Every structure is written in structure tokens, then in C-alpha cells.
Amino acid sequence: MNIKGLQERIIQKKSPVVVGLDPRLERIPRAYKKGKTISEALFAFNKDIIDGIFDSAPAVKLQIAFYEKYGLEGLKAYVESKKYAKSKDLFVIGDIKRGDIGSTSKAYSNGHLGHVAYGDKIIDDFEVDNVTVNPYLGEDCIKEFIEDIKIYDKSIFVLVKTSNPSSKQIQDISKDGQTIYERVAEMVSGMNSEFNGAYGPIGAVVGATYPEELIALRKQMPKAYFLVPGYGAQGGKAKDVVRAFNEDGLGALVNSSRGIIFNYETLGSSVKEGARAAVKEMNEAINDALAKVNKEYWR
Amino acid sequence: MNIKGLQERIIQKKSPVVVGLDPRLERIPRAYKKGKTISEALFAFNKDIIDGIFDSAPAVKLQIAFYEKYGLEGLKAYVESKKYAKSKDLFVIGDIKRGDIGSTSKAYSNGHLGHVAYGDKIIDDFEVDNVTVNPYLGEDCIKEFIEDIKIYDKSIFVLVKTSNPSSKQIQDISKDGQTIYERVAEMVSGMNSEFNGAYGPIGAVVGATYPEELIALRKQMPKAYFLVPGYGAQGGKAKDVVRAFNEDGLGALVNSSRGIIFNYETLGSSVKEGARAAVKEMNEAINDALAKVNKEYWR
């Protein structure tokens, strides 16, 4: 699914929410784990989350670290979860934050945005609609992903300004009035300019925890979809995240992980109902905030 | 194995070479692939390389991208290859270039430097001696790895100045006379200061393709082991890489991947003999160059 497909689902479901499938075994109810392998437990949990949210959210994001942590069994759950999410017509983001020298980035890109053939088999275990990319190695790295974006009609989110407290140590360093993250934003903007349409396939990760920066970055990258982490557990609020949206009310996906998938703990409900309720609340909060600034994308 | 264990093996084998196990299916001889799964083919190839080099090189580095590219089957070969390398008493580096916000970096670190328990099972599929870390997200990210370095007696290499052409776009941006890569070097140096001994567990990746920068960075991070990619196929020469070594002739590992593992193509030999010959040649070239600048670590 490309960015256009994502946008159609945002409008149809009236939701710019992406659900972070970041399971932590220690917070998954015992019933999912009893007598089960790690991969069975993680997948069963994710399946209930997906069943709870697929009709009210357009996208899911899988943070691959929470699967890699559990080795091959963990990654098997990553593969099964993203397949199940695809079967429910969701836009699937692999939050992999990869980035390496050219020939190595190509291997990541082939594996995560595309697929490879071996004899008469097609290997597409990790193929998703979109992945996150780390820009520390410069354009060489991102260009390899762009080749596959064109081949497979996919998209990426480049890390511009991340949501964590120490992101400023490197990203906020400024030379001649331009910070590192603004320079990365300039790269993103330049790369999108060769694609037609209101939105290009090169998106940007910009944390909800830095609302001031959101305003400037929104202006600098008008054609980029924003992936906005940091809502909820990390402190970002609806009134902050509206700044990530363009005047058309589009151009942003707001992520929440722990606030959605572990909401059952707060509600005392089932995992599925907890997730469903959290997405409903988040949709309402963001849509209300968007309406207040005249950015109603659903009109 | 910790940095001290690595150093003992460097001196004993008279080799600062790390062999990059970056297999590319299209360059692996047909005999390895015929009737075999991807994981069997990749592992059989790596096993021959390891058998060829384990007595003449102290370390191997697995670029995980070349395994991820082939999905779960590919990663199974990663797991088997690093286990086999461990059984041959090699120092094993996972070239994963991970880096994320704190809680996520912790998951990567737990999985790649340590292990996790599930019921009565220990999951250590990805556990290696050392991993590479991307610093774009700042100290939050690196600190999680340092916790596990202490728990498991391991080490990391932080990306400081990478070997690729576009590394300068972000890494060379300079403010008040200090580049981004120098700022990362300052972080590395600061983090090593809390560890005793001549060398600390926080190393630095510095490309052989930037020899001028090597000199300054060597001075700035006296306690850091350097992982030096870019030798051979990427253009770095023995006379360049000696700059990565301290006056004691230690403190650096020089990586070559394609030049070693595909040397059989040039020689027309077996995979094993090709790798063995390439390491021998590289050991001699580097040791000769070190002797010329009075950095004979083997004395």
C-alpha cells in the first residue's frame, strides 16, 4: 500500500492514528503465555489488538526491537503480526530505523520494502508498506531505499527530530542558523520534489514532544507525511500534534503504543476492548483538536 | 568475550584483522546452494570462511543486513554462523547499527548483548560480544547499551565517522570548530572514562577512507578501540589504517569483507583457501605498515 492508500483509509476511518505494536512479554496477560511459545504468545496478543482496532485506525507500526529482543521466535511473531495486519487492510510500518553504507542499505531495503527470489521461492518475510530510516550516514543510505520505493510503490519515514530527551545532542546542533534536523528536513523535501501529487513517499519522523519544532518542520516539508511518536506515554498532547498536520488536515500519522496496547490494564477490560477504547478516545481528541484549528480533513 | 579477550587474541595471532561475514547469495558458488535452503547455503559458506581464518584472525563481523535481506531463513544463518564463530574462540561483532529511544534501545541491547529468560528457556539467538550503535538519537540510546556492557562484560562500537562518501553530509557539519563526529567522539571518550584499564568497552567506528580524520580522532579517544571499515574494496590502504592504532600498536581492528570472503574468485581457489590467503596478505600488509611507524604491538 502506498501513501495514497494510507490517506484514503485515514479519511474513510476518520482517524490519523497509528497503533504501535510494541509488545513486552512482562506486560502481556498470563493467559496468552501459558503453555505457549514466545512467538505464539506475542502473536496472539497482537492479533487481539489488531482485531480491536482495524476498523477504527488506518495503520499499525511494529517496533522491531521488541521482537528482535526474543531472537528468531520473536521475529517469527513480527512476520505473522504484519501478515495479519495486512490481511485486515491496514497500512503497515516497520519501525526498524535502519541505515548503513550504500550496498548494505540496499540489503535492508530489499528485505524490508521488497522481496527476493531464491530458486522458485519468494522471500518476503519482512516486507511491509513503509519503514523508518536513520539518516546519520547521509544520502547514500536513503537513496537505496528510494530505488525500492519506486520499484515496489512503497514509502519511508526518515528520522528528522526524534521524541526522546537526548535527541537534541546531535539533532539540534546548529550551523549558520540551520540545525542538523533542519538539514535532514531539507534532504527529505528535496527527495519528495521528484514525485508528483500533494504528498510524496518520503516522510519524516518528528516527535510530538517538540511542538515548537513541529510548526517550522511542517512548513519546511509540505509534501512529507509526518510520523509523530511521543503521544500519550511520552507526554505529547492532542493540541501539540495538530501542528504536524497541513491546512488540509492531512499529512500526519500520530502514533501511540503503550497507551493503546496496555490500556486494558487501566480499564480492567479485555486486551481487544482496551485497545479499541484507547483508539476511539485518541481519534476523538485529535479530531476535536483539528476542528478547533479548522483542519477538518473529513469534510 | 570482552575487549581484553579480543586484545589477547590480536597479540597471540599477530593480527588486527576482522573478517566481515557479509555473504551475498549471488556471489556464493553454486555448490553451496544446490538443493539447500538459504540458511543452509549461507551457513555452509560462512563455515568454510571461518575454518579458513580462525587461526589467523581474532574476530569476525556479521553485517546483519545481509541476513535480514533473506527473512527468517537468513537470520537463522546469522545465528548459526555466530555460534560457530564462538565455538572457534573468535570475537564476534554484530554489525547492527541499531539506535532508538531509551526503552527501545534497551530491547535491542538485551537481545544482542545479553539474553532473556522465558519460562525455563534462555533466549540468546542474537547474543554476540559486541555490536555497532548509531548515535543519531543521542546519549539516551547509548546508555542502555552501557548498562548491558556492565552486566554481561561486553563492548560496543559507536558510529563516529563512517566510511561511505555521503557520511560528510551530517557527520562533518561543524559548529564552533567542532564537527558532529568530533562531538560523538567526545561522548565516546567521556563514557570510557568511567572504566579502568588502557582500553574501555566503548569503541568507535572510523572509516579507513578518511585517513586525515583518523589521526585527530585517535588522539581524541585514546581509550577507545577503533573498528575501521573501508579497507580494500572501499579504497582504504595499510598506510592509511595505521593511523587508527595507538603508539602501543593496539587499539584498532581493521575490517575487510568482500576482499576476504570473495577472494576465491580472484585466486580461483576454494572459498576457505581464498579467505585464508587474503587474511595472511592483509596481516602482513598491516603489520609491515605498523613496523614502519614503530607501532609493533607484537614485541
Interface touch A112/B68, C-beta < 8 Å: yes
pLDDT band at B236 (very low <50, low <70, confident <90, very high): confident
Q: Say what percent of chain A tops pLDDT 70.
A: 100
Q: Is A170 on the interface with B (CB under 8 A)?
A: yes
Rounded Cα distance between B26 and B66, Å, is 12
Mean pLDDT of chain A: 96
**Which domain CATH number covers A285?**
3.20.20.70
* Half-sphere exposure at residue B237, Cβ-oriented, CA atoms within 13 angstroms: 4
Q: Is the pLDDT of residue B234 over 80?
A: no
The alpha carbon of residue A223 is apart from the nearest alpha carbon of chain B, in Å, by: 22
Q: Is A98 on the interface with B (CB under 8 A)?
A: yes
Interface touch B111/A79, C-beta < 8 Å: no
Q: Which of B104, B180, B229 sits opposite A170 (nearest CB)?
A: B180
Rounded Cα distance between A182 and A185, Å, is 5
Rounded Cα distance between B116 and A108, Å, is 26
Residue A3, pLDDT score: 97
Rounded Cα distance between B138 and A88, Å, is 36
Which is catalytic among the residues A33, A83, A86, A97?
A97
Rounded Cα distance between B167 and B221, Å, is 20
Return the closest-CA partner of residue A76 out of B86, B72, B220: B72
Q: Which of B72, B111, B175 sits opposite A173 (nearest CB)?
A: B175
pLDDT, tens digit, 9 for 90 and up, residues A152-197: 999 999 999 998 889 898 999 988 889 999 999 999 999 999 999 9
In a domain, B129, yes or no: yes
Partners of residue A262 in chain B, C-beta under 8 Å: none
Interface touch A98/B66, C-beta < 8 Å: no
Return the closest-CA partner of residue A253 out of A297, A197, A191: A297
In a domain, B153, yes or no: yes
Rounded Cα distance between B194 and B148, Å, is 15
Instruction: Please report, for residues A43, A106, A108, B95, B213, the alpha-carbon distance to residue A101 in angstroms, rounded to integers and kept in the order given.
Output: 33, 9, 11, 12, 18
In a domain, A288, yes or no: yes
Rounded Cα distance between B33 and A208, Å, is 48
Q: Which of A75, A76, A166 sits opposite B137 (nearest CB)?
A: A166
C-beta neighbour count of A145 within 10 angstroms: 26
Interface touch A100/B104, C-beta < 8 Å: no
The alpha carbon of residue B145 is apart from the nearest alpha carbon of chain A, in Å, by: 13
Question: Closest chain A residue to B118 measured between Cα atoms?
Answer: A38
Q: Are B74 and B286 in contact (CB under 8 A)?
A: no
C-alpha triplet B66, B68, B70: angle, nearest 5°: 85
Task: Report A:134-163 residues touching B (Cβ under 8 A).
Answer: 134-141, 159, 162-163
Rounded Cα distance between A43 and A36, Å, is 11
E strands within A180-228?
Answer: 202-206, 226-228
Q: Tell me the mean pLDDT in the region B151-157.
A: 98
Interface touch A164/B140, C-beta < 8 Å: yes
* Half-sphere exposure at residue B239, Cβ-oriented, CA atoms within 13 angstroms: 1
Rounded Cα distance between B141 and B98, Å, is 9
pLDDT band at A63 (very low <50, low <70, confident <90, very high): very high
In a domain, A299, yes or no: no
pLDDT band at A210 (very low <50, low <70, confident <90, very high): confident
Q: Tell me the mean pLDDT in the region B96-107.
A: 95
Task: Report A:52-81 residues touching B (Cβ under 8 A).
Answer: 63, 65-66, 68-76, 79
Q: Which of A38, A99, A124 sits opposite B118 (nearest CB)?
A: A38
Helix/strand/coil for A3 = helix
User: Which residue is it, cell 497503533?
Assistant: A19
pLDDT band at B100 (very low <50, low <70, confident <90, very high): very high
If one counts the domains in chain B, the total is: 1
pLDDT band at A233 (very low <50, low <70, confident <90, very high): confident
In a domain, B176, yes or no: yes
pLDDT, tens digit, 9 for 90 and up, residues B190-219: 999 999 999 999 999 999 888 888 999 999
Question: Closest chain B residue to A69 measured between Cα atoms?
Answer: B111
Q: Tell me the mean pLDDT in the region A84-92.
A: 98
List B174's β-bridge partners, or say none: B179
Residue A77, pLDDT score: 98
Task: Report B:5-34 residues touching A (Cβ under 8 A).
Answer: 22, 25
- Largest CA-CA distance found in chain B, in angstroms, rounded: 60
Return the closest-CA partner of residue B258 out of B26, B15, B97: B26
Question: Closest chain B residue to A139 measured between Cα atoms?
Answer: B166
Residue A51 grid cell: 482485531
Q: Which of B69, B79, B187 sits opposite A111 (nearest CB)?
A: B69
pTM of the model: 0.97
Q: Are A7 and A199 in contact (CB under 8 A)?
A: yes
Q: Are A170 and B193 in contact (CB under 8 A)?
A: no
Q: Which of B116, B170, B183 sits opposite A136 (nearest CB)?
A: B170
Partners of residue A25 in chain B, C-beta under 8 Å: 118
Per-residue DSSP letters for A61-98?
EEETHHHHTTHHHHHHHHHHHHHHHHHTT-EEEEEEEE
The alpha carbon of residue B177 is apart from the nearest alpha carbon of chain A, in Å, by: 10
Q: Is the pLDDT of residue A251 over 90?
A: yes
Per-residue DSSP letters for A240-258?
HHGGGS-TTS-SEEEEESH
In a domain, B73, yes or no: yes
Interface touch A71/B168, C-beta < 8 Å: no
In a domain, B295, yes or no: no
Interface touch A118/B76, C-beta < 8 Å: no
Mean pLDDT of chain B: 96
Q: Is A128 on the interface with B (CB under 8 A)?
A: no
Q: Which of B71, B164, B170 sits opposite A123 (nearest CB)?
A: B71
Residue A235, pLDDT score: 80
Question: Closest chain B residue to A114 measured between Cα atoms?
Answer: B69
Does A223 participate in catalysis according to the annotation? no
User: Which residue is it, cell 548459526?
Assistant: B80
Which is catalytic among the residues B14, B97, B143, B237?
B97
Residue B264, pLDDT score: 97
- Largest CA-CA distance found in chain A, in angstroms, rounded: 60
Q: Which amino acid, residue B12?
A: Q
Residue A264, pLDDT score: 97
Is the ipTM reported for this complex over the cut 0.90?
A: yes
In a domain, B296, yes or no: no
Task: Provide CB contacts within 8 A for A52, sequence distance 6+.
Answer: A271, A272, A273, A274, A275, A276, A279
Partners of residue B63 in chain A, C-beta under 8 Å: 100, 104, 107
Interface touch B183/A173, C-beta < 8 Å: yes
Q: Is B188 on the interface with A (CB under 8 A)?
A: no
Interface touch B118/A180, C-beta < 8 Å: no
> By residue range, what is the domain housing residue B212?
3-290
Helices assigned H by DSSP within A120-175: 139-152, 168-171
Instruction: Please report, for residues A246, A289, A297, the alpha-carbon distance to residue A242 in angstroms, rounded to integers and kept in the order given.
Output: 9, 7, 12
